[in-house]
Amino acid sequence: MTTLAQEQVWCSSTPKRSHGDDTAGVKSVGSALDVLECFATDGELGVSDIARRLGVAKSTAHRLLQTLTSRGFVEQRPDTGLYRLGIHLYELGELALARNALRHHALPHLRQVVATTGLTTNLSVSDGPDIVFIERIENSDGVRMLGNFGRRLPAHTTSSGKAIAAFDPAADLARRRAGFPPRVSRTVRTEADWVRCLEGVRRVGFASSTSESFDGASSVAVPVVVHRRAVAAISVFGPTEVIAPRVDRLVPVLTAAARRISLAHAG
């Protein structure tokens, strides 16, 4: 199986977000955000690294880094002079999660799934062509397959992405527009295959993934549907030899949890 600790923690195939307005003020904000995104794939970077990636002068990169440092979004190591993400980003991220109503409603039901199945359980939402795991509870036996692996993956490589896209036309369209770059051995690679996957999900009510995001790993997901649209997916993840023989037993557990989350969130 792929060693997940060695994998990139960021979805490198994700299309760049547009800055939108071209006014000078918005451009500077966009440039600052571009700096932050440089750290998605690297823990520490120097001024030259940032300048090269953004295609700007070193003086511009230095000015952006200093501004971000002054606000706590970036910090500079005194021993090496390299920059890394700052603690204030962690604070804001924790606040975003704490204030997420869907996650709050889902947590007790995710814990029940973990207690029932003994498997790593995820709650995910769509973000453009990708899936973002907003909560992950590791399995109870202490085997941490995913660990600190990044929370974003292309939707076509995951059971959660398929489960959501099957019942959310916007998520489906975003993935089609972004294409289907391969990730591992059995990743969906064409729009025709993607269409067949979503048709299957609509027919049976759940999605599965085997060696599509990580070789040797499988997952099963069920959509969380509110007002006839999938707002999230709940999934279990583990080695293929553990997941595959249990799909028929896992789906009812996930379906019941998804229904409870849907009722709590809709109410």
Using one digit for the tens of pLDDT, what is the confidence trace for 44-85?
999 999 999 999 999 999 999 999 999 999 999 999 999 999
Q: What is the pLDDT of residue 10?
A: 44
Domain 16-92 belongs to what architecture? Orthogonal Bundle (1.10)
Residue 21 pLDDT greater than 60, yes or no: no
If residue 84 lies in a helix (H) or strand (E), which one and from where to where?
strand 83-85
CA distance 153 to 131: 5
Summarize the confidence of residues 119-134 as an average pLDDT: 94
Q: Coil, strand, or helix at residue 229?
A: strand
* Pairing assessment for the beta strands 152-154 and 207-210 based on DSSP bridges: unpaired
Q: What is the pLDDT of residue 96?
A: 87
Domains of the chain: which residue ranges?
A: 16-92, 100-266
The first and second tokens of residue 106, run together, are 């889902």
Which residues contact residue 72 at a Cβ distance below 8 angstroms, ignoring those fewer than 6 apart?
86, 87, 88, 89
Q: What is the pLDDT of residue 2?
A: 37
Residue 242 pLDDT greater than 60, yes or no: yes
Residue 5 pLDDT greater than 60, yes or no: no
Residue 142 pLDDT greater than 90, yes or no: no
Alpha-carbon dihedral of residues 38, 43, 49, 55, nearest 10 degrees?
Answer: 0
Scored b (16 or more CB within 10 A) or e, 235-263 reads: bbbbebebbeebeeebbebbeebbebbbe
**CATH superfamily of the 100-266 domain:** GAF domain (3.30.450.40)
Backbone angles phi, psi at 78, to 5 degrees: -70, -25
Residue 246 pLDDT greater than 90, yes or no: yes
Q: For 211-234, what is each residue's pLDDT tens digit? A: 998 889 999 999 999 999 999 999
The first and second tokens of residue 19, run together, are 């800055």
Place of tokens 């923690």: 9
